[in-house]
């Protein structure tokens, strides 16, 4: 295992409720309605895909404007309170101690990803991510493998030598198809078993040794 690739929303932070608030507020500001079911259907999806569905729900703005309004609203909420997922900060410390490089792979805008990376660095008093791949860095969003392949390339490693941590079906499909050993940690939505190598309930108590063991086991199975 040469690197670990982290999704952001729902994996490092439980920001999905922030996105849902931003979506509902935006749709309602144009006189529409936005259901919880509609919100959950977008979890893990690319922002421009989400924006097109919000536009169909009555948001009379260009797609780029929708994306930036949503992102700014979520960023404002994160700056008020970072909703960390259990165990993630301890796992970062374990990876740093072991010298394992990490990348952030998210469909959020780069400005949001960089803000989260700064928050992690403040929390741990050192930089964690050697690479960031965001939604505005790729041509094809998750579930396409482009984001994870780009992150592995940025770290100078083969994606098959990485472990990816994901909370959504779109994200897991992206990592899995890129060749990463994919660990699903579903939070707000389910993940098909076919899109992950292992499914965990959370990252609480997880260390770099646990990730190495999963990677070794899956690579031994794959080479058998």
Give the separation between CA 24 and CA 11, rounded to whole angstroms: 22
- CA distances to 10, 32, 35, 43 from 106, rounded to whole Å, are 10, 28, 24, 12
Q: Is 7 a catalytic residue?
A: yes
Q: Which of 7, 9, 136, 167 is catalytic?
A: 7
CA dist 137 and 135 (Å) reads 5
Distance between CA atoms of residues 83 and 12, nearest Å: 9
**What percent helix, strand, coil does the chain show, rounded to 5?**
55, 10, 35
Q: Residue 10, by phi and psi: left (phi above 0), alpha (psi -120 to 50) or beta?
A: left
Q: CB burial class (10 A; 0-12, 13-18, 19+) of residue 86?
A: middle
**Alpha carbon distance 34, 97 (integer Å):** 44
Cα-only R_g, the chain = 17
Residue 129 falls in which region: left (phi positive, over 0), alpha (psi -120 to 50) or beta: beta
Cross-strand bridge partners of residue 184: 166, 199
Which residues are known to be catalytic? 7
């Amino acid at each position: 295992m040469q690197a670990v690739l982290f999704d952001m929303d729902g994996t490092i932070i439980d920001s999905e409720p922030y996105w849902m608030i931003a979506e509902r507020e935006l749709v309602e500001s144009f006189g529409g309605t936005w259901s919880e079911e509609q919100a959950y259907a977008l979890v893990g999806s690319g922002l421009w895909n989400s924006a097109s569905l919000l536009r169909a729900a009555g948001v009379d703005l260009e797609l780029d404007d929708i994306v930036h309004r949503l992102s700014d609203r979520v960023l404002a909420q994160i700056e008020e309170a970072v909703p960390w997922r259990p165990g993630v900060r301890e796992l970062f410390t374990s990876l740093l101690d072991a010298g394992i490089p990490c990348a952030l792979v998210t469909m959020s805008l780069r400005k949001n990803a960089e803000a989260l990376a700064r928050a992690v660095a403040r929390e741990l008093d050192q930089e964690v991510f050697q690479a960031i791949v965001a939604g505005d860095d790729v041509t094809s969003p998750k579930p396409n493998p482009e984001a994870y392949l780009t992150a592995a390339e940025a770290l100078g490693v083969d994606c098959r030598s990485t472990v990816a941590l994901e909370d959504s079906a779109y994200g897991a499909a992206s990592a899995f198809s890129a060749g990463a050993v994919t660990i699903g940690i579903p939070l707000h939505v389910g993940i098909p078993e076919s899109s992950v190598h292992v499914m965990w309930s959370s990252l609480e108590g997880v260390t770099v040794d646990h990730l190495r063991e999963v990677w070794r086991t899956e690579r031994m199975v794959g080479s058998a």
